[in-house]
Amino acid sequence: MNSSYDSIVIGSGPNGLAAAIAMQQQGLSVLLIEGRDEIGGGLRSKELTRPGFMHDICSAIHPMAVTSPFYSQLPLEQFGLSYVYPVADAAHPFDDGTAAVLYPSLEKTAALLGSDRKAYESLFKPLLDDFKGLTEDILGPLQIPKHPLTMAKFGLKALPSAMQLAKRFHTKEARGLFGGVAAHAIQPLTNIATAAIGLVLILNSHAGGWPAPKGGAKGLAEALAAYFKSLGGHIVTGTYIKSLKELPDSKAVLLDVTPKQLLQIAGERFTSFYKWQLQRYRYGMGVFKVDWALDGPVPFTAAGCREAGTIHLGNTIEEIAANEQHTANGHHPDNPYTLFVQHSIFDSTRAPEGKHTAWGYCHVPNGSTKDMTAAIENQVERFAPGFKDLIIDRHVMNTADVEAYNPNYIGGDINGGILDITQLYTRPAMRWSPYTTPAKGIYVCSSSTPPGGGIHGMCGYHAAKKALKDVFGIRL
């Protein structure tokens, strides 16, 4: 490390990388510090089961990376990034052997929803036409929208709960498809504004697809890091920062951490009121994750599932809602909603020839260490009889393992805090700018700031934008 920098970014997750790049682009000297030996945060891949089987340790599918207003402007393909796309973005199987399928084509998706075809098109077509403006406004802090009329139209549809919005549909296919996507919210589907998650992710499918970086999620992190270094940025790994006193001199420090670590690292610089707000910050449900090395492709009963990258396992929207509420209440459902990804059907680099990989998790109470392996595998077997017979090896992570892997995942919460209506724009604290702290030159750039979880880098970008204006007089 040098003795001083213009700016230091702590944490090299997707937001830390975005913040570092945004500041380095302005010609500043920027140091990015990562506690682990490799960069990436939630963007890391490893042979977790056996040699030749490449698994994503955390994030696996990246719809929002493709449409991110920040990432999409970067020349990442020049630094090795290549996305691969499944035939279908997602599928939602039912107990009767059928499935609803989310295709990149809005029309193709709607055509398979029977009597709900027109309802689906009338909901998503107007929003898709306005998608670029929507993305810029949705993926930012609470402020006057750049496209107020477009945002108002979206808000009217996004504010209800997922269960309320699903009343637009009458078939189990349309209701299940929407419910399975909305359950990415990691909260009860009866919560206000959970409809927004379903809307945004489905719109991302129709606007840009649900791809994955070829060879693993690490490809995105490596490309971001390579671009950052090409601009003159510096990266130090294997250095876990516990106090601001450990840092070289700088004019600004941006922390890609959640409130718990923020208090540990910089708490002595904060006011009592700000510390009180951080201490009251709420984390959401955790995840229990399994990665599999498989002897063949997953034998889903429904043909649509066999060509989809992501599968939402939970049957009807009513069953999903009941199990998510049960989990939020501190219990472990026997048939948990399971988010399942099968990379190797569209990326042959993920497994040896003739073999396959799979990735999946269910939601559990925050901090739970209960082994959910059997429950998850039973849920897959429910819709893909013969799946268990294909398992060569597996790797499991409970919430403690997930947090040990990435300290930002408190109690297994991969969203940096529950993303409900009360913390949507006030994360991590109630301030004019959520990226600022009471300490001059100290900023927060993690998913614990708006717009929250997801691989889009916009938390980091907006934090950097604020720091550039405040500290360096640079307006983006």
Q: In the Cβ-directed half-sphere of 76, how many Cα atoms lie within 13 Å?
A: 24
| 394 compared with 2, residue with greater pLDDT | 394
User: C-alpha distances in angstroms, 274 versus 129, 262, 375, 431, 441?
Assistant: 41, 11, 41, 9, 15
- pLDDT, tens only, 176-197: 999 999 999 999 999 999 999 9
Instruction: Write down all domains in the chain, each with its CATH number in brackets.
Output: 4-47+60-82+213-281+417-472 (3.50.50.60), 84-211+285-405 (3.90.660)
Q: What is the mean pLDDT of the chain?
A: 96
In 3D, which of 198, 439, 195, 183 has the Cα closest to residue 327?
183
- pLDDT, tens only, 422-459: 898 889 999 999 999 999 999 999 999 999 999 999 99
Distance CA(207)–CA(224), nearest Å, equals 23
Distance CA(436)–CA(135), nearest Å, equals 23
On the question of pLDDT at 143 being above 90, the answer is no
On the question of pLDDT at 144 being above 80, the answer is no
What is the distance, to the nearest Å, from the Cα of residue 296 to the centroid of all Cα atoms in its chain?
Answer: 28
Indicate the range of 78-82, 143-147, 328-332 predicted with least confidence: 143-147
pLDDT value of residue 2: 79
pLDDT value of residue 414: 97
Question: How would you class 463 by CB atoms within 10 Å of its CB: exposed for 0-12, middle for 13-18, buried for 19 or more?
Answer: buried
In 3D, which of 74, 4, 36 has the Cα closest to residue 253?
4
pTM value is: 0.96
CB 72: neighbour CB atoms within 10 A? 14
